[in-house]
Structure 1
């Protein structure tokens, strides 16, 4: 089961942090269709947030078709966001992990890495290029 980590000083609304963390778990295959999300009460106990915030996040995920709220039963994942073959990401994940270790050894902290990543991502995924691309870029 997923445990939400709320960053109070991040500048991102709490409900949106829940939405984004759920989407990340779906992309990484941590959550798969049929999995049950924690109840609002469980999230309130672990993250010390308002239950309405949790419900707002779950309603947003439901609106996007990612989860289904089943009264009396809970909130369940309807569909994932990962690739059909999650093992195809393994080599990239290993390379990225190695790169992150090098960045840490070089003295970069998490915020430095995020800024560098965002700058590089902007270079590679331009608005026009990434919006229309349907598969891996051919070289």
Structure 2
């Protein structure tokens, strides 16, 4: 059994409920391979102490993740990752991640703020995935350098 040290960052100003932020951050960790099947999530008590959220908030998030088949509670043991969302080409050790980090560095060097970058990324994602599926034709070619 592996206990993953994962701290949830709860932003109370963004309007997204805390339980939903926990769900989103857990899914992100599952997509990036930070969490893998068999890993134990932090207890609701630990999350409450570290993130200053009510333990019931964490339990609600974990129930949502359980409904989606991503985690499973084991009475007396904790909540464990059941399946991953990671894809080999989406991990932090993939070439795509390296390209994205390099692009982010160029964006910051050009004076863009985090909100500017988020807006550009959101716009590009909407355009790329507008039909529900990505097309290889629009992802090949220039890397923007």
Distance 1:87-1:55 versus aligned 2 partners, 3 A rule: closer
Question: What's the CA shift string for 1:79-103, capped at 9, x where partnerless?
Answer: 0000156669611111100000111
1:38 counterpart = 2:42: yes
Whole-Å Cα distance in 2 between the matches of residues 120 and 86 of structure 1?
17
1:137 counterpart = 2:136: yes
Distance 1:11-1:109 versus aligned 2 partners, 3 A rule: same
CA displacement at 1:2 relative to structure 2 = 1.3
Question: What's the CA shift string for 1:106-139, capped at 9, x where partnerless?
Answer: 111111111111111111111x341xx6xx7367
Contact residue 90 and residue 97 of structure 2 kept, 8 A: no
1:58 counterpart = 2:62: yes
Contact residue 107 and residue 117 of structure 2 kept, 8 A: yes
User: Of 32, 41, 63, which aligns to 1:28?
Assistant: 32
The two structures have a TM-score, normalised by structure 2, of 0.85
1:47-126 → structure 2 map (5 Å cutoff): 47-84=51-88, 90-126=94-130
Distance 1:69-1:114 versus aligned 2 partners, 3 A rule: same
User: Of 1, 11, 18, which aligns to 1:14?
Assistant: 18
The secondary structure found in structure 2 opposite 1:122 is helix
Distance 1:88-1:115 versus aligned 2 partners, 3 A rule: closer
Segments of structure 1 that go 5 or more residues without pairing to the other structure are: none
The two structures have a TM-score, normalised by structure 1, of 0.89
Number of positions where the alignment pairs a residue of Structure 1 with one of Structure 2? 134
Distance 1:85-1:64 versus aligned 2 partners, 3 A rule: same
Whole-Å Cα distance in 1 between the matches of residues 20 and 59 of structure 2?
11
The structure whose residues are more often helix, as a share, is 1
